[in-house]
Structure 1
Amino acid sequence: MKTTGNTVFISGGSAGIGLAIAKKLSEAGNKVIINGRNKERLQNALKELDNAVAIQGDLSVESERIRIAEELAVQHPDVNIVINNAGAAYMNDLSESNNNAAEKAYQEINTNYISVIHFTSLLLPQLLQQEEAAVVNISSIAVFRSNKYLPTYSASKAALHSYTQGLRDTFADNDKLNVYEVYPPLVNTEFSAEIGGANGIPPAEVADELFMALEKNQFEVPVGDTKKIHALMDPITAHIPH
């Protein structure tokens, strides 16, 4: 896929992985549209980008997804890459009865899975009108193995992973629409600070891997330590009927 001259929408684009991807694509000559909930953070992010605009809104809210999709259709009809990066994660100790585990899980599933499905479905008609288009879902190393700290977050990303595979299969015969999945390990961002993000890789490494994957039409994009797991799992899953 071409890596310049695109119009790219990035959810969660005001910080962390989303902002790193926005910088990489902006520097490569793409028009970038970043989305986030916080107006001030979006404006600060725009100062670090060229040829970029922002659309404020919370994609975890159905009415906001519809509004943003309509705004893109009217004001940015040339959008041809959608990067679903916005996410929610909570430390969720399932052994604590007063932990409100189900509510945390609901928010994670809604943001990381349901919202992505709905927003992507809203954008598909626009994407399918382009000469070349892509959906990029940012999942996680957690799709391969959960843990006691983030059990419900891991489940939500596993659901996103399964959906992404199904979406890719659905459009396998359409040579104009490609579906990518990026699997970051622990990344050093504000988002991951609570779970030891300071020990993670820089978000720019995720952006670099995605950029190279777009160049090569490499739809599976493991990053860092995820490459080891993906190399073991991919030959096995490739033989599962689909």
Structure 2
Amino acid sequence: MNTTNNTVLIAGGSAGIGLEIAKLLDANGNTLIITGRSKSRLDEAASLLKNAVTIVSDISSEGDRLALAEKLQAEYPQLNMVINNGAAASIYPLVNAPAEAMPTVQHEIITNYVSVLALNSLLLPVLARQPEAAIVNVSSVVAYVPGILATYSASKAALHSYTQSLRWELGKIHPNIKVFELFPPLVNTEFSKPIGGEKGIPPQEVAQELLAGLASDTYEIRVGMTEQLYRLFLSSPEQAFAAMHTSERK
């Protein structure tokens, strides 16, 4: 996949991994459209970029997704890359989970899985018209081995399964659309602070690995320790699960 001269949507690109991806793509001469829920954070992100526009949009909202897709198809018919980076996560007990946790559970599933599927479907017509296009779903190491964030892990496992199916279907009918999945481990961002994000790798490393994976058409981009845990998972799911939870306790 060419990593220059693209028109790229980054859903959830105002901070963390999304912003670092935006910085690298911006430096490579791409046109960026960045979305997020906070106008102030989007404005701050745009101030760091040369060639980016921002759109306030909540991908978990069906109305926002429809409005975003309509705007993109009308104003950016050359759109050829979609990076789905929006996410939600929370910690709560599974045993005797309080009733008030259920809206949070639903929000995580919608944000991390349903909204990605829905937005991709809305944008496939414009992507299909391009000579070369890409969808990038930002997943997680927990797509392979669940961590302490139970619903987040489950939603990323669902996203991984969907991404594989989407890649297979598009390979038959729209081979010009390449489908990538990015698997970061724990990353040092504001998003991951509640689970010890300061122990994680810098988000710049994740962004660099993504661009390298795009350039080499590596469709499953496993960053840092994700590769090692994935290999362990293939040989022994039980040992991989134990390793994941041992590292979380440190």
Equivalence for 2:52: 52
1:150 shift after superposition? 0.6
Equivalence for 1:240: none
Equivalence for 2:188: 188
Equivalence for 2:91: 91
Q: 1:51 to 1:231 in 2, by over 3 A?
A: same
Map Cα deviations across residues 175-212 of structure 1 (whole Å, 9 max, x no partner).
31100000000011111111111111111111000100
Is 1:7–1:30's contact at 8 Å kept on the other side of the alignment?
yes
User: Where do residues 59-98 of structure 1 align in structure 2 (5 Å cutoff)?
Assistant: 59-98=59-98
Equivalence for 1:165: 164
CA RMSD, 1 decimal: 1.5
**Whole-angstrom distance in 1 between the partners of 2:196 and 2:63:** 34
Is 1:93–1:99's contact at 8 Å kept on the other side of the alignment?
no
1:50 shift after superposition? 1.2
Equivalence for 2:17: 17
Map Cα deviations across residues 90-134 of structure 1 (whole Å, 9 max, x no partner).
112113443633322211100000011110000000000001000
**Whole-angstrom distance in 2 between the partners of 1:235 and 1:6:** 39
**Whole-angstrom distance in 2 between the partners of 1:101 and 1:58:** 21
Equivalence for 1:178: 178
User: Where do residues 137-152 of structure 1 align in structure 2 (5 Å cutoff)?
Assistant: 137-147=137-147, 149-152=148-151
Q: Percent identity?
A: 50
**Whole-angstrom distance in 1 between the partners of 2:167 and 2:235:** 18
Is 1:35–1:56's contact at 8 Å kept on the other side of the alignment?
yes
Q: 1:4 to 1:235 in 2, by over 3 A?
A: farther
1:172 shift after superposition? 1.6
Structure ranking higher in helix proportion: 2
**Whole-angstrom distance in 1 between the partners of 2:121 and 2:232:** 32
**Whole-angstrom distance in 1 between the partners of 2:45 and 2:135:** 23
Is 2:79–2:126's contact at 8 Å kept on the other side of the alignment?
yes
**Whole-angstrom distance in 2 between the partners of 1:71 and 1:233:** 42
Is 2:13–2:85's contact at 8 Å kept on the other side of the alignment?
yes
SS in 2 for 1:175: coil
Equivalence for 2:154: 155
Matched, 1:129 2:110: no
Is 1:185–1:224's contact at 8 Å kept on the other side of the alignment?
yes
SS in 2 for 1:83: strand
**Whole-angstrom distance in 2 between the partners of 1:55 and 1:118:** 18
TM-score normalised over the length of structure 1: 0.93
Q: Which residues of structure 2 form unaligned runs of 5+?
A: 237-250
1:234 shift after superposition? 6.7
SS in 2 for 1:112: helix
**Whole-angstrom distance in 2 between the partners of 1:195 and 1:233:** 22
Is 1:92–1:104's contact at 8 Å kept on the other side of the alignment?
no
Equivalence for 1:224: 224
For 2:188, give the aligned amino acid: N
Q: Which residues of structure 1 form unaligned runs of 5+?
A: 237-242
SS in 2 for 1:3: coil
For 2:37, give the aligned amino acid: R
Equivalence for 2:28: 28
Is 2:145–2:233's contact at 8 Å kept on the other side of the alignment?
no
Count of residues paired in the alignment: 235
Matched, 1:120 2:120: yes
